[in-house]
Amino acid sequence: MEIREKILKLKAEKDAVILAHYYVPGDVQEVADFVGDSYYLSKVASEAKESVIVFCGVNFMGESAKMLNPDKKVIMPDLKADCPMAHMATVEGIEAARRNHEDLAVVCYINSTAEIKAHSDVCVTSSNALSVVSALPQKNIYFIPDQNLGRYISRLVPEKNFIFNDGYCHVHTSIKKDDLLKKKAELPKAKVASHPECREEILELSDFVGSTSDIIKYVEKTDAEDFLICTETGIFHALEKVGKGKRFHAVSGSQICPDMKLNTLEKLLHALETLDNELHMDEALMKKGLQPLELMLKLAD
């Protein structure tokens, strides 16, 4: 039996649902029940009825699924798949911001550890940060961990006062202005679509900025032959499905997230066979970390 068939058979036998982010390898996306951005996947996880959630993504995504649906067993093809940016904020930094600013909301990008979430007021993802931040009553926003997403949102909500942190995504910040300018010169008619984790100089040169699912929607509705894509290249799998006949180009060879690529079909099969790779979390931490996630779901809808 093919590995794909084995996975689908085991999934039914174990009463499991498979969730996959757009950055995992295409063959893994193909066996998933749901493929999407962080916001969509967290909503799907919170509503899952199956006893097992298999999360093909990185650690903070599995943790968020567990907090949102704590009675389910959450397993991951590789528990080592972690987002380095999720660790780029500290509890000390949050406490200092709370001491130094009145009327403050600690806004935590979902790409963060459960501990950071537990000390924050509200979570956001790239697709809902604008609506969530706009809905907050507080004037001061301490935006963690990603400085690039924070800066991008701050431009769209000028009435708020943002305090930034120095976190960043090594994949998105590896995309450099010179590389983009070179590609634009080679393909002058190409549209540029970028994720807000990119550097500001990349966003300024972009025709569209948005989350992974927003980039896919933009490509689908935009009349152009060539697109320069400034995000992780796992997204090309979904882009090629919606953009038949359109051509997609990376800007540099470094647009690959090594952690997302730890999610292979072989590891997914093994995780389903053994149910070994379960994500275990501290109960008290889960309860505290759930609050900002629930507020996000409430404010974003």
Distance, in Å, from the CA atom of 190 to the CA atom of 196, rounded to the nearest integer, reads 19
Decide if residue 38 touches ligand 13P (CB under 6 A): yes
Decide if residue 84 touches ligand SF4 (CB under 6 A): yes
37 binds, among ligand 13P, ligand SF4, none (CB under 5 to 8 A by kind): ligand 13P
Interaction with ligand SF4 in 177-216: which residues (CB under 6 A)?
Answer: 197
Decide if residue 118 touches ligand SF4 (CB under 6 A): no
Decide if residue 257 touches ligand SF4 (CB under 6 A): yes
Interaction with ligand 13P in 104-143: which residues (CB under 6 A)?
Answer: 111, 125-127
Decide if residue 37 touches ligand 13P (CB under 6 A): yes
Residue in 129, 259, 262, 296 binding ligand SF4, rule: CB under 6 A: 259
Burial of 171-203, coded b for 16+ CB within 10 Å and e otherwise, reads bbbbbbeebbeebeeebeebbbbbbbbbbeebb
211 binds, among ligand SF4, ligand 13P, none (CB under 5 to 8 A by kind): ligand 13P
- Which residues here bind ligand 13P, judged by CB under 6 A? 37-38, 111, 125-127, 169, 195, 197, 211-212
- Which residues here bind ligand SF4, judged by CB under 6 A? 58, 83-85, 111, 169-172, 197, 232, 257, 259-260
